[in-house]
A and B are shown apart, each in its own frame.
Chain A
Amino acid sequence: MKTAICSQGNRLESHLDERFGRCSHFVIYDQISGGIEFLPNPGKEAEEGAGPAAVQFLASRGVRKIVSGEFGLKIKPLLDSLKIQMIILKNSGKTVQQVIDMLNQI
């Protein structure tokens, strides 16, 4: 089961990004193997359509859950049809490491 986390940087101490489509990096965490992958967001500087592009990008990597501070208007229908779960953590100030620790507790 892979989970994507929107991060402000490419380190485990980086904070969770409040945006989904225009976050700096996606952290893809594989709960089964424990592997952590940092991917720069290709749509960060896009003029428009950053959110849907990010959905495609993550769906092609087999992500089943996405953790972010917020999601845009167009994202929910796309993720619903792909059966990807959205998790919103608003103003938490949590780091990527803390989120991964929380996921590991389950």
Chain B
Amino acid sequence: MSPRPVRSRKVSNPPVISGFRPYGGNRKEKGQVFLQYEEYEAIRLCDHEQMKHHEAASAMGVSRPTLTRIYARARQKIAGAFVEGKQIIIEGGKVHFDSEWYACSSCGCHFNHPEKHEIIYTCPLCGSKQVSKNDELNENSHL
């Protein structure tokens, strides 16, 4: 039997940097560790936002045990990089970047915006500037 496919993890804030490089010490190249996006997100939710594991799990759309495994792997990789003086590179992993919902009061449509880095000013349907974030839909996790 083949194993079940990995569920895509929801990442709501992509990292602002693509990795860390050590400085000082013996500057000879010590190698690198690859931190996956989902591991970065687990660290962000659990340690930076100080969420409980079950809260972080539902935020990422995975089960609580899976989140704990991702988190443990992240800690191990980061600890390995610190101790051995390796570079950390954030990449890979089965993730999707969650987008937020917006509403347009001119044509009454709702739309999402997959390109997080660009700020949205106009409705993609009617072009009006009367757009606002739709918090009601954003909190309703299934849509």
Contacts and interface: CB of A to CB of B under 8 A. Distances in A.
B72 interface: no
* Size range of the chain B interface in the assembly: 20 to 34
Nearest to B94: A81
A76 B112 CA distance: 9
Contacts of A80: 96-99, 112, 114
A106 B61 CA distance: 35
Interface residues of A, number: 24
Given A77-B96, A106-B124, A87 B8 contact: no
Contacts of A106: 122, 124, 126-127
Interface string B79-120: 000000000000000011111000000011111111100000
Contact of A83 (B95, B115, B124, B142): B115
Contacts, number: 63
Contact of B96 (A73, A81, A99): A81
A67 B115 CA distance: 17
A105 B127 contact: yes
Contacts of A88: 109-111
Given A85-B114, A88-B109, A77 B61 contact: yes
A67 B142 CA distance: 18
B124 A77 contact: no
A88 B111 CA distance: 6
Q: Which 8 A-B pairs have the closest CB atoms?
A: A81-B96, A106-B127, A88-B110, A87-B111, A83-B114, A80-B96, A89-B109, A102-B126
